[in-house]
């Protein structure tokens, strides 16, 4: 922070800085009404994290040689204990949003006037007035933000800093007219099921007895617009949208939420329970489950060490989420420095050691994202290729086509169980990967080359053609028909007419032959020809998905055609969730649908062993430095290979080929 003269920290000793409130300010919270007007005066003191271990600690850096008398820390430990007024020494970690860097206030540290963000200033003031915490850790002040080397290794310690803190105070911001009402809501809910003072055994037993009372309170809350709106206002605070907040929330043993002068423990756990309530239906459920409100809290719910029952388990045995899962679940969270999207989550990921990603703020965002993709692929997370397609990796930052742009990531919602490109006899669960800076070389099966593409289906006009109307469903069906062949190989073996077979292929292509959400079920293979023909002709006359839905919703249609509702759901998910889906056919006669990403003449459809969804690769421009240069451009449904036919019907067995992605 500008204006501070920092004494260097010793990395080997795992040193951190603590802020200690000067004794000139009262140690009794709220004792004086003038507390807010007194200048904030702190002093820095350097200590070692080795002095603050706890029985739930599962830190990989534990070393019995650290913190002994040989380190010369005894006197420092005694001083911190005296300053904190507690035995053993304890400190409070502050969790907050930095806010607008241009909006600053003054505090005094070691006799120097230092300008800090206003939001941090308000947090320090409220902590001083409303709590007894006098020894604090706040990253903006306790880490030298101008020193990339110190910042890099201190970031590695962040999870440990919050885990070893006596408590963590989450600063939600200043109070509004709704704050008091919102906190009363949380207190009422917590009063119906309070685990804070229970033993772990009692916490388990209390679920059944307290559940009814809690649900009654939820029902009253949903029916009270004033209280419900006030509660949502708390969850709409910027605090819940920041990436760094998540590991701080996940690691805290004792967490208090401070908003203005209102202080309450474990609001996040209360919201977790509220989300799971059966009384939360309709608009209320949609309000609370809005992604920007709930993604952080829902992801935290999956962390064993943040639940009361999870704390009863030795944390060394608790399973934490993998980094790739955290990145997907928390894709809506933001960071002012995009490198922190990786570094913030790395500290709490179960695979943080094997990934071998070391925070380094001398690297660019592109370097950090590329390194993370390499590390994940080395651990056989081949679905990272799909993540790269969903985020259009190369578009914004100029990333390699196979490295996800995590801020732009979105869930394709593909049901992997329905994409089975390999028969089990031929299926191999891994591919050989080799990396070289921005390139990855892998073994795959090149299925075929695209020779003809149809028009993409769009639910709304392209931005460049705002006046152009969107595709009608019937028009897109014609595009599919013009893009496919009759697949004579199937007609010969199955004895079907060309017309009937084309209709069947078209219907299956239109829905990608699968449902994108549970219940996971394929369209019946034995759908009667009359059903196929009738649905097909109805599609040819349908102007929109709404018209198709109305038709398929008729009782007579539901009775006549088995699973017609499931088919409509499949069509709807295929089109609405993949705006721009484009049909295409290959040289060998495969009918395909580009489920995500663009495709064009000359692109190749490939199967990567271990990845059940076909990829679309494109040769890069001539002269590109690469032995076999391709870029990853999309994923596809390919009719005729999704159940292993590509391997079972080909003699000799297809051979792997080596390609390089860039």
Domain span including residue 24:
13-165
Two structure tokens written together for 581: 């889906």
Same domain, 393 and 486: no
- For residue 352, whether the previous peptide bond is cis, meaning omega lies within 30 degrees of 0, is no
Residues 397 and 453 in one domain: no
Is 416 domain-assigned? no
**pLDDT at site 520:** 41
DSSP H stretches of helix in 24-142 = 74-84, 118-130, 139-142
Q: 448 and 335, same structural domain?
A: no
Phi, psi of 657 (to 5 degrees): -125, 150
Predicted local confidence at residue 171, as pLDDT: 97
Cα–Cα–Cα angle for 420, 425, 429, nearest 5°?
Answer: 60
Q: Determine what percent of the chain is predicted with pLDDT higher than 70.
A: 63
pLDDT, residue 483, reads 64
pLDDT of 384 above 60: yes
CA-nearest of 631, 308, 294, 608 to 447 is: 608
**Strand-by-strand arrangement of the 104-109 sheet:** 112-117, 104-109, 41-48, 15-21, 135-137, 92-95, 167-173, 255-259, 262-265
In this predicted model, what pLDDT tens digit does every residue of 526-559 receive, in sequence order?
A: 555 666 676 677 666 666 666 666 666 666 655 5
The residue behind tokens 């709704």 is 178
Percent of the chain with pLDDT over 90: 29
Residue 201 pLDDT grade (very low, low, confident, very high; cuts 50, 70, 90) = very low
Question: In the predicted model, is pLDDT for residue 373 greater than 60?
Answer: yes
The residue out of 408, 430, 449 marking a domain boundary is 408
User: How open is the CA angle 113-115-118, to the nearest 5 degrees?
Assistant: 135
Dihedrals phi, psi of 154, to nearest 5 degrees? -65, -35
**DSSP H or E stretch at residue 234:** helix 225-235
Q: Is the dihedral of CA 342, 348, 352, 357 positive or negative?
A: positive
Q: Based on the fold, state whether residues 468 and 350 are members of the same structural domain.
A: no
553 shares a domain with 457:
yes
Q: Is 240 among the domain residues?
A: no
* Rounded to 5°, angle at Cα 180 from 176 and 185: 125
In a domain, 498, yes or no: yes
Residues 64 and 111 occupy one common structural domain = yes
In a domain, 523, yes or no: yes
- For residue 259, how many other CB atoms are within 10 A of its CB? 23
Contact between residue 450 and residue 605 where contact means Cβ atoms under 8 Å apart: yes
Mean pLDDT over the full length of the chain: 75
- Quick one: 487 and 375 in the same domain? no
Same domain, 373 and 465: no
On whether residue 530 sits in a domain, the answer given is yes
* Assigned token pair, 544: 């929109």
Quick one: 607 and 459 in the same domain? yes
Q: Are residues 402 and 465 in the same domain?
A: no
The arithmetic mean of pLDDT across residues 296-312, rounded, is 53
Spatial separation of the C-alpha atoms in residues 531 and 561, rounded to whole Å: 6
* 19-33, 178-192, 619-633: range with highest mean pLDDT: 178-192
Buried b (16+ CB within 10 A) or exposed e, 87-96: eebbbbbbbb
Q: What confidence category does residue 62 fall into, taking pLDDT thresholds of 50, 70 and 90?
A: very low
Domain membership of residue 487 (yes or no) is yes
Rg, C-alpha atoms of the chain: 29
Q: How confident is the model at residue 413 (pLDDT cuts 50, 70, 90)?
A: confident
Q: Which of 99, 134, 165 is the last residue of a domain?
A: 165
Band the pLDDT of 252: cuts 50, 70, 90.
confident
Q: Are strands 439-453 and 615-619 parallel, antiparallel or unpaired?
A: unpaired
As a whole number of angstroms, the distance between CA 157 and CA 60 comes to 11
Beta bridge pairs of residue 661: 440, 630
284 pLDDT tier (thresholds 50, 70, 90): confident
| 120 occurs within a structural domain | yes
Q: Which two tokens stand for residue 92?
A: 């409070």
Question: Of 408, 427, 454, which closes a domain?
Answer: 408
Q: Is residue 247 part of a domain?
A: no
114 and 35 co-located in one domain? yes
Can you tell me the distance from the alpha carbon of 330 to that of 249, in angstroms, rounded to the nearest whole number? 13
Residue 84 and residue 47 in contact, taking contact as beta carbons nearer than 8 Å: no
| pLDDT tens figures, 290-303 | 766 666 766 665 55
- 495 & 580 share domain: yes
Q: What is the mean pLDDT of residues 179-192?
A: 93
Domain count of the fold of the chain: 3
């Amino acid at each position: 922070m500008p204006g501070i003269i920092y004494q260097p920290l010793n990395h080997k000793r795992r040193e951190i800085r603590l802020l200690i409130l000067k004794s000139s300010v009262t140690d009794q919270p709220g004792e004086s009404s003038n507390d807010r007007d007194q200048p904030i005066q702190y002093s820095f003191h350097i200590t070692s994290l080795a002095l603050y271990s706890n029985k739930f600690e599962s830190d990989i850096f534990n070393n019995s040689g650290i913190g002994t008398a040989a380190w010369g820390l005894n006197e420092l430990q005694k001083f911190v204990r005296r300053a904190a007024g507690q035995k053993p020494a304890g400190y409070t970690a502050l969790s907050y949003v930095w806010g607008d860097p241009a909006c600053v206030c003054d505090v005094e540290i070691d006799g120097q006037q230092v300008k800090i963000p206003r939001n941090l200033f308000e947090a320090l003031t409220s902590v001083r007035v409303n709590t007894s915490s006098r020894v604090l850790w706040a990253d903006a002040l306790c880490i030298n933000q101008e020193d990339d080397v110190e910042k890099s290794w201190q970031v590695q310690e962040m999870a440990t800093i919050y885990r070893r803190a006596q408590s963590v105070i989450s600063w939600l911001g200043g109070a509004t007219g709704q704050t008091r009402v919102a906190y009363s809501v949380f207190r009422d809910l917590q009063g119906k099921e309070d685990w804070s003072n229970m033993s772990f055994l009692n916490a388990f037993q209390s679920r059944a007895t307290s559940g009814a009372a809690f649900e009654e309170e939820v029902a009253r809350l949903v029916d009270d617009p004033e209280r419900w709106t006030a509660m949502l206002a708390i969850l709409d605070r910027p605090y819940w949208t920041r990436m760094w907040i998540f590991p701080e929330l996940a690691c805290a043993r004792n967490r208090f939420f401070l908003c203005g002068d209102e202080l309450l423990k474990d609001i996040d756990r209360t919201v977790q329970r509220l989300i799971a309530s059966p009384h939360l239906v309709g608009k209320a459920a949609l309000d609370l489950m809005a992604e920007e409100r709930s993604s952080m809290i829902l992801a935290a719910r999956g962390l064993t060490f943040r639940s009361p029952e999870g704390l009863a388990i030795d944390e060394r045995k608790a399973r934490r989420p993998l980094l790739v899962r955290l990145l997907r679940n928390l894709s809506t969270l933001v960071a002012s420095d995009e490198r922190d999207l990786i570094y913030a989550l790395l500290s709490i990921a179960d695979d943080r050691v094997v990934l071998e990603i070391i925070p380094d703020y001398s690297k660019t965002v592109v370097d950090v994202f590329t390194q993370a993709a390499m590390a994940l692929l080395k651990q056989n997370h081949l679905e990272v290729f799909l993540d790269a397609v969903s985020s259009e990796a190369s578009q914004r930052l100029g990333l390699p086509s196979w490295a996800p742009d995590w801020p732009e990531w979105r869930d394709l919602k593909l049901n992997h169980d329905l994409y089975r490109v390999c028969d089990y006899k031929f299926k191999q669960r891994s591919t050989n990967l080799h990396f070289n800076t921005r390139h990855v070389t892998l073994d795959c099966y090149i299925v075929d080359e695209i020779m003809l593409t149809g028009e993409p289906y769009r639910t709304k006009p392209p931005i460049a053609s705002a006046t152009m109307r969107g595709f009608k469903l019937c028009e897109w069906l014609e595009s599919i028909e013009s893009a496919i062949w009759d697949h004579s190989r199937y007609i010969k073996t199955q004895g079907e007419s060309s017309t009937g077979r084309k209709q069947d292929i078209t219907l299956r292509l239109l829905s990608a032959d699968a449902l994108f959400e549970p219940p996971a079920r394929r369209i019946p293979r034995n759908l009667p020809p009359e059903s196929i023909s009738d649905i097909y002709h109805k599609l040819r006359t349908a102007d929109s998905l709404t018209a198709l839905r109305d038709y398929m919703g008729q009782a007579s249609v539901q009775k006549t055609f088995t699973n017609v509702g499931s088919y409509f759901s499949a069509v709807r998910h295929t089109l609405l969730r993949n705006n721009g889906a484009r049909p295409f056919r290959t040289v060998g006669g495969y009918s395909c649908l580009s489920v995500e990403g663009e495709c064009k003449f000359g692109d190749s459809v490939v199967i990567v062993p271990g990845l059940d969804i076909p990829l679309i690769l494109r040769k890069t421009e001539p002269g590109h430095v690469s032995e076999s240069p391709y870029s990853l451009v999309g994923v596809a449904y390919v009719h005729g290979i999704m159940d292993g036919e590509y391997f079972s019907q080909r003699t000799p067995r297809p051979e792997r080929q080596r390609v390089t992605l860039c």
